[in-house]
Each structure stands twice: as C-alpha cells, then as structure tokens.
Amino acid sequence: MTDLAGLLVLSLEQAVAAPYASCRLADAGARVIKVERTEGDFARGYDNLVNGESSYFLWLNRGKQSLCLDLKSQDDLALLDAIAAKADVFIQNLSPGAAERLGLGAAAMTKRYPKLIYCSISGYGQNGPLRRQKAYDMLIQAESGLAHVNGTPDEAARVGISICDIAAGITAYSAILEAILGRGQTGKGRTIEVSLFHSIADWMNVPYLQTRYGNRPPTRMGLRHPSIAPYGAYRCGDAKALLLAVQNEREWVKLCSDVLDDVALANDQRFSSNISRVKNASALDAIIAARFAALTRDQAIAILDGAGIAYGRLSDMDDLVNHPQRRLIKVATAAGEIEMLAPGVMAGADSFGAVPSLGEHNDWIRREFGPRRPRTGMSAASQDPPLSKHQGR
C-alpha cells in the first residue's frame, strides 16, 4: 500500500508495542526510521528460531530502516533531533521518564515542532500512582485482571501471546491515523498517550461492568463462555476437540433437532433460554458431550455444517501452519525470504518491505540528516532513501 507514502515516521522503539504500531505505518507506505540502541532492539534476542533470527523481531519490523544511536552522545541526540524536525510522527516507548531526561518528552518536542504528531507508549500512562512503574506484557495481564479471567477453574493463566503489547500497538496506530487526518484539517500536530494497562483495560469492560453493576464477577471457565451456553469445547470419539457456539434461540432449536436428535430438549425448562442454559450448563454439557463422544470430529463437523451451527476446531500450532484458511505474505530478511501470516487487513498490498539488519541504514541516514553535505549534484531532499539490501525494487 502507498496510502502513507511521503510520511516520515521516527520511532525510538523496542520490544513489541511501539514496533507493532510503526510496522503498520510502514505497511501503509510510510518511511519508518527505527532508532535502536547500539546493541540493538532487545527483541532481536528474544529467540533465534527463524533461520537464526528472532520471530518477534521479524514479525514486527518489516519495511523499516534501522539507525543505531547512542543517546548519551550529544552528536547522536542532535542527529535524532534533525530527523524529528522533518518527521511527521514521532513514536517512543522508552522507560518511564527517560524521554523527558533526554529532552525528547512530548512537551519539549511539540513545542519545537508544532506539526509533529507525538505518540508515547508506556505501561501505565503519564499520570497516576503507577506512572513510573516498569511494565511488561504478562505483568499487565495480571495487573489488569485479564489473567484472572483467563485459564481454568483451578488456575489463572497468561494469554499465550503478548496481547497487552499488541492492544497498545493497535491503539497507538489507530490514534496516529486519526491525528494525521486531524492535522490535515488544522495544520497542527497532536500529543498521543497510550498505555498497555489502559488499552487492555478497555477490552476488559464486559467483566468490569458485570462485576460493578451486576455483582457477578466472572469465573474462569477454560474453554467455556461465561455468558452464553452452549459455547465451548467438547471431545469427540477420536479424542479430537471441537468447539460449538449457539448464539440465539433459533440456533438452539436447530442444535436440538439436527445435532442432538432430541426435539423435545428445546423446550426443556432447564434450557429454554440462554440464561437458563447458563445456569444449568453442567447438565447441558453432559448431554452434548455424550453425543459428540459417539462421533469423530469430522462426522460432528458434517452434522454441524448441515444444521448451520457455528463450530471451530481446537487447532494446535501444526494445524495453524497447515490451516486451509491461512493467508501468507513473503518478507525478505538477512537470513533469506520467509513466509509469515498476513496482517488482518489486506487493502491491495501485494508486497512488504524487508526486515533491516542492525544499523543497516546508519550511513545513509547520517548523510541525509547530518551536518555533511549531500553527494555532489544532489540535494538531501532529492535522494531516495535506500531499500534494504535484502530487497530489490
């Protein structure tokens, strides 16, 4: 996509949340200069499982330029400031207070550059008693109550992906796009504040409202829904699990007649409404489990398909790797081209930028924004930024 072509994004970033936001901007055609510490974004070392490279880093950093800076160096700070002077968007997710100590806080940067869209991503936000507390994804999962509502009746559990980081990243991306539209009308930049805690807390509103106003704190259900029944996993006769979901009374009647072969069950007072079914979920689960135990998963799927009842296989990662509905993109890396799962939205994009090596664009960016003169016969503005060495035109 080229919707954001011509937009310059300067991202002083590490780990997941900010790189997720800037990756989406890069996918949309923005030029993203990723500022890394001299030893590199520590996500480069989270694992080495993709041809020796980090799965996290490869996922989050396609299409960017890598610039290594030592922010204790006044020269490097001056270079960063020179880039910021021409940037449309500045993103940072440094430790609490670090940007301000470097003179890169929101107030200082937006005062110098009124058209700049400044986005800071933190653990708990810029105000409140925990504003300076360090925060990582699983800590926020616990602090926000997410881990408490996830897991089995016996034990809380971490959601198996960095969901708080991702929530903050997509929230930041959305807010940046809004700010770009707003600046087009007003000519002024904007300060955006995003935190992991507040991003995921918004997603926790249903259990929050149920608890505060209904006095019904959610209980951990494993692969069962706390508010809808039947909606959960059942083991089939071949030991493979299948989830089914009934969302309305019409579907409930169809489930009884076409899947459970018991028309009268639809009018059983224990199960005559969703609220009743939730109250009597154990009895209902036993009826459904007995029926599925007599079927293989494929047989159950065929019956559910015929009845128009929603279902989903309980896929493991091998199932996902081979899933018939998966959509893949190709991305160039220093270790060779790889395939990864595509973004959730595809809007005409048929190619994606390469993942940069550490400091790959140092020399070019220093020439472009530093004090040296541009190459003979060319202005700095006329020089196209380089493609990654892993990517052809």
Give residue 227's pLDDT.
85
pLDDT 10s digits, 217-260: 888 888 888 889 999 999 999 999 999 999 999 999 999 999 99
CATH 3.30.1540.10: which residues of the chain? 231-313
- Top-tier CATH class for 8-203+325-382: alpha beta
Cα–Cα distance measured from residue 41 to residue 75, given in angstroms and rounded to the nearest whole number: 20
Give residue 84's pLDDT.
96
Q: Are 92 and 99 contacting, i.e. CB atoms less than 8 angstroms apart?
A: yes
CATH 3.40.50.10540: which residues of the chain? 8-203+325-382
CA 177: distance to chain centroid?
A: 16
The residue ranges of the chain whose pLDDT is under 50 are: 372-382, 392-393
CATH architecture of 231-313: 2-Layer Sandwich (3.30)
Q: What pTM was computed for the model?
A: 0.85
Give residue 117's pLDDT.
97
Give residue 388's pLDDT.
66
